[in-house]
Structure 1
Amino acid sequence: MTSQRILVTGGSGFIGQALTGDLLAAGHEVTQLGRQASIAGSRHANADLSDPASLRSALAELRKQPRFDAIIHLAVSRHHREFPQRALDMFYVNTAAAAELLDFARETGVGRAVFGSTGTVYSSTVSAEDTEQPGSHESEFRRPSSYFAASKLFADSFCDLYRGFLPIATLRFYAPYGPHLEDRMLSDLVARVRSGRPLSLPASGSGLAFSATYVDDALAVIKAAIAEGWNETVNVAAPGYETIESAGHLIGDLVGKAPCFERGKAGLAPKIVPDTERLGELMPQHRFTDLRTGLAGMIAAQQHA
């Protein structure tokens, strides 16, 4: 990409920090929209995305500046586990902020946009032990099983309605992970295996079946979506999937410690796995990082931290 003016939300998050650093290193002018600018060299537009008045005030100031070539909206509520106590925070950050940014993009003539989403919008009812059922396709609709998933699905739907005004890529990331990951499933699994704490499995079966996305691959997808003007919803994950049990053994191999497991009373766990055929068509030359390689990099970074 030639040098561009890019507005980024979620710049202090796991993917956002890595992306902002990459964009700055490539010579782009990056403005971080949020409560703080997490990367030196970026510009800062102060806003609390959980406060509609704060966000509107910041966008009003940005309207006075030259237009942005692209918007990358990665901000997500930090309170995704706190329903119903923090339901409004999820709504304002995940849903209302997306609506405000989409209209800002339309009004100011933004060239293209990427809106981060999640594979949990599919709310899978497929058992982890079902090896025949294909992964969730972008066109599928399932009633969300959580407030967080519903808040993201509404934002995804808003993106669909604005695609006639500018190219918008809605990227549904599955279990992003990599160096510096905190408070997420894969970082928790690594910590549990290292400390000898048991990994939870259902009464039978191998536990949750999931696909994952290494951070370098997430950045490559975002940059391709901006450079090529993707205008659709795309599932983002490496091919294949693991279960909690198989991932535990994989982590055990990497850290040199056998994992422990404990079984609960719950029934079979779900299968949160995407159909990535469209991603493969859009990025046929890109080789996505398998979980063993990605976890090895993540664990090595932890050891040198």
Structure 2
Amino acid sequence: MTDTQIDPRDKHPEGGFPAQEQEQPGLTDQTRPEPDHGEESYVGAGRLAGRRALITGGDSGIGRAVAIAFAREGAHVAIAHMPEEQADADDTIETVTDAGTTGVSFAGDLRDEGFATSIVDKTVEALGGLDIVVLNAAYQKDRESLVTLETEEFDRVFKTNLYGLLYTARQAVPHLQPGSSIIVTSSVQAFNPSPGLIDYAMTKAAQVAFVKALAEQLGPKGVRVNAVAPGPIWTPLIPATGWDAERIATFGTDTPLGRPGQPAELAGAYVYLASEAASYVSGAVLPVTGEDRAGSRHDPRQRCTRPGSRC
């Protein structure tokens, strides 16, 4: 074993997080322990030098990890975020600019078509073009049952996860040149939905269909479209989901590696899909789940019965 080889079971906290709850959208400084976005660990190699990226939901969690990795790979980065997340966005942009690249942020709600489209135009203006679009922003909430799922909440999930995604992608496509890339943050929920996340899981499955159809559509133009499907990742969205203390304490501990993932552990997947290393990859959904939960080896009678399971 070399000095750089690390046991993945011990790389990050194994779970057992303290009871906590936040209002949506969730903030980094209220999340205990604070997620690892790769601030201290990610080392770039110039794989995205000079490229211009827009990341929705780029203020915290997976989006922040991707912004940091892209910047350290040489990309200029724009992020979109909710107004309540300005402090997180400022921290992200500071880390981006510390890497020596340009960083800008835009505050607004992606359910607003005007905002969701304007961020594309503002990115092109600020960065001089657009090469990578990461459609990462999402909203989820624990649901007691379908019967009690309010239409207003259903609308919020679909408008954030699908409408906003479509608005931004539609505006971005005319700006994308051959070699450009669109990456969607889907979820393991697209393939193995949890009952309490029924509406969220529906949107994540729809995102997979979007990726595969758009990859077919844009392939002849030299634009690749892919998705990353995270498993249980510790981000501010988790304590803002509405789970009880037991669910938080056991979050992600049912994976074979015995722990939830950290945002930093997804960054490499996005870098790969955006880089020339993935030049022949399009229409793919790359799982980063701690195990293959799209398989059939789980007994459906047992699936998702344990607190913390997100299978």
Q: TM-score range by the shorter chain?
A: 0.5 to 0.7
Tell me which amino acid in the other structure corresponds to 1:13.
Answer: S
1:66-81 matches, within 5 Å, as 66-79=128-141, 81=143
1:228-267 matches, within 5 Å, as 228-229=278-279, 230-231=281-282, 232-239=284-291
Q: Which residue number in structure 2 is paired with residue 121 of structure 1?
A: 190
Structure 1 residues 79 and 189: CA distance shift in structure 2, 3 A: closer
8 A contact 2:227–2:285 mirrored in 1: yes
Q: Which residue number in structure 1 is paired with residue 62 of structure 2?
A: 15
Q: Distance in 2 between matches of 1:117 and 1:188?
A: 26
Q: Distance in 1 between matches of 2:134 and 2:106?
A: 14
SS of aligned partner of 2:139: coil
Q: Distance in 2 between matches of 1:118 and 1:87?
A: 18
Structure 1 residues 90 and 186: CA distance shift in structure 2, 3 A: closer
Q: Which runs of 4+ in 1 moved over 6 A?
A: 184-187, 271-274
1:31 pairs with 2:78: yes
Q: Which has the larger radius of gyration?
A: 1
Tell me which amino acid in the other structure corresponds to 2:133.
Answer: I
How much has 1:10 moved relative to structure 2?
Answer: 1.0
How much has 1:191 moved relative to structure 2?
Answer: 6.3
8 A contact 1:170–1:233 mirrored in 2: yes
**Number of residue pairs aligned between Structure 1 and Structure 2:** 219
How much has 1:79 moved relative to structure 2?
Answer: 4.3
8 A contact 1:176–1:213 mirrored in 2: yes
What is the Cα-based RMSD across aligned positions, in Å?
3.8
Q: Which residue number in structure 2 is paired with residue 59 of structure 1?
A: 120
Deviations 1:235-285 (A, max 9, x none): 2223478xxxxxxxxxxxxxxxxxxxxxxxxx74438788xxxxxxxxxxx
Q: Which residue number in structure 2 is paired with residue 106 of structure 1?
A: 173
8 A contact 1:46–1:58 mirrored in 2: no
Q: Distance in 2 between matches of 1:6 and 1:46?
A: 16
Q: Distance in 2 between matches of 1:273 and 1:81?
A: 14
TM-score (norm 2): 0.58
Q: Which residue number in structure 2 is paired with residue 46 of structure 1?
A: 107
How much has 1:169 moved relative to structure 2?
Answer: 1.3
Structure 1 residues 91 and 239: CA distance shift in structure 2, 3 A: closer
Tell me which amino acid in the other structure corresponds to 1:20.
Answer: A
Q: Which residue number in structure 2 is paired with residue 149 of structure 1?
A: 201
Q: 2:225 aligns with which of 159, 168, 174?
A: 168
Structure 1 or 2: more strand by fraction: 1
Structure 2 unaligned residues grouped into runs of 5+: 1-46, 98-102, 294-300
Structure 1 residues 27 and 91: CA distance shift in structure 2, 3 A: same
8 A contact 1:123–1:145 mirrored in 2: no
Q: Which residue number in structure 2 is paired with residue 95 of structure 1?
A: 162
SS of aligned partner of 1:146: helix
Q: Which residue number in structure 2 is paired with residue 270 of structure 1?
A: 304
How much has 1:171 moved relative to structure 2?
Answer: 1.2
Structure 1 residues 64 and 219: CA distance shift in structure 2, 3 A: closer
8 A contact 2:143–2:197 mirrored in 1: no
- Identical counterparts, % of pairs: 14
Q: Distance in 1 between matches of 2:143 and 2:196?
A: 15
Structure 1 unaligned residues grouped into runs of 5+: 126-142, 193-198, 201-206, 242-266, 275-305
Deviations 1:10-50 (A, max 9, x none): 11231112222232233321001233434123212333112
Structure 1 residues 113 and 189: CA distance shift in structure 2, 3 A: farther
8 A contact 2:55–2:134 mirrored in 1: yes
SS of aligned partner of 1:93: helix
